[in-house]
């Protein structure tokens, strides 16, 4: 089981799932390229989506497996969708949290000003060095606000980040140059999408927090047209973007149900 985190996170965002699924799986929560202690090439070209996809393929090979259960959240969800499209033989089952099929995302953002506004950070991140500066000033105030504020933060009705949790995030992103790699992921996106070969043929579970401050819930509902296999969408009301951290018990239960049920391909 491979777990792909979002932005601005690292492997630690899957702490609840690492404990939960180790009873039946070898569970590996990665730091994506440029995050944490992974290699962090300087040039933005090193963070193109095809490089990120190849990273995951190489990691699976190095672990000695030909297939996996693939789970991705946010930006990690984007990569998970792309792996399922490009290397379907690698994925037994696909689970994505709060990110629609990439084609849905690109089409929706062009047609709906609300989503364009919610995704404004994609455009802000195209600016050299300034986004890194804004995240780091005032003792990483912007990063703390992202995780703790009423509008965007974790824990409306579920688990909140503890002081220790928040310190772990600040520690990772306060290392020299630690923000550039993560932000460089976004600096290539407009040259890579949309996809020509876009259908997913893997049994898929899409989990969605209804109160996501960054993604319109309608995108989740449209995603089903791009999955030519078993597809299940579960929308959790009053839950934020950070679903697997905010409601880990519910998320884990939904994942277990999906993993254990027989899934048949749609005719």
Q: Supply the CATH number for residue 70's domain.
A: 3.40.50.1820
Is residue 265 one of the residues assigned to a domain? Answer: no
**Residues with active-site annotation:** 74, 186, 241
Q: Which domain holds residue 221?
A: 2-260
| pLDDT digits (tens), the chain, 267 positions | 999 999 999 999 999 999 999 999 999 999 999 999 899 898 989 999 999 999 999 999 999 999 999 999 999 999 999 999 999 999 999 999 999 999 999 899 889 999 989 999 999 999 999 999 999 999 999 999 999 998 899 876 778 889 999 999 999 999 999 999 999 999 988 766 555 668 999 999 999 999 999 999 999 999 999 999 999 999 999 999 999 999 999 999 999 999 998 766 654
Is residue 195 one of the residues assigned to a domain? Answer: yes
Is residue 267 one of the residues assigned to a domain? Answer: no
Domain count, the chain: 1
Task: Name the 3-class secondary structure at 200.
Answer: strand
Gyration radius (Cα) of the chain, Å: 17
Residue 220 to residue 179: CA distance in whole angstroms: 29
- Joined together, the tokens standing for residue 256 give 């277990």
Is residue 162 one of the residues assigned to a domain? Answer: yes
Is residue 54 one of the residues assigned to a domain? Answer: yes
Q: Are 169 and 141 in contact (CB under 8 A)?
A: no
Is residue 170 one of the residues assigned to a domain? Answer: yes
Is residue 172 one of the residues assigned to a domain? Answer: yes
Residue 112 to residue 227: CA distance in whole angstroms: 23
H or E stretch at 134: helix 130-148
Is residue 266 one of the residues assigned to a domain? Answer: no
């Amino acid at each position: 089981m491979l777990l792909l985190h979002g932005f601005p996170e690292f492997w630690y965002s899957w702490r609840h799932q690492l404990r939960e699924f180790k009873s039946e799986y070898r569970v590996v929560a990665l730091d994506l390229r440029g995050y944490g202690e992974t290699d962090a090439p300087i040039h933005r070209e090193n963070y193109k989506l095809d490089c990120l996809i190849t990273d995951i393929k190489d990691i699976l090979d190095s672990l000695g497996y030909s297939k996996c259960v693939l789970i991705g959240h946010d930006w990690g969800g984007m990569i998970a969708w792309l792996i399922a499209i490009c290397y379907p033989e690698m994925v037994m089952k696909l689970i994505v949290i709060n990110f629609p099929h990439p084609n849905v995302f690109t089409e929706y953002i062009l047609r709906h000003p609300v989503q364009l506004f919610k995704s404004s950070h994609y455009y802000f991140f195209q600016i050299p060095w300034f986004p890194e500066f804004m995240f780091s000033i005032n003792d990483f105030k912007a990063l703390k606000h992202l995780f703790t504020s009423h509008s965007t933060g974790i824990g409306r009705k579920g688990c909140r980040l503890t002081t220790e949790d928040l310190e772990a995030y600040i520690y990772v992103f306060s290392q020299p140059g630690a923000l550039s790699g993560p932000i460089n992921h976004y600096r290539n996106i407009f040259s890579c999408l949309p996809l020509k070969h876009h259908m997913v043929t893997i049994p898929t579970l899409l989990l969605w927090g209804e109160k996501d401050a960054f993604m319109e819930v309608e995108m989740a509902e449209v995603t089903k047209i791009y999955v030519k296999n078993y597809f299940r969408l579960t929308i959790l009301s009053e839950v934020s973007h950070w679903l697997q951290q905010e409601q880990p018990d519910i998320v884990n239960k939904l994942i277990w149900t999906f993993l254990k049920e027989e899934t048949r391909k749609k005719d």
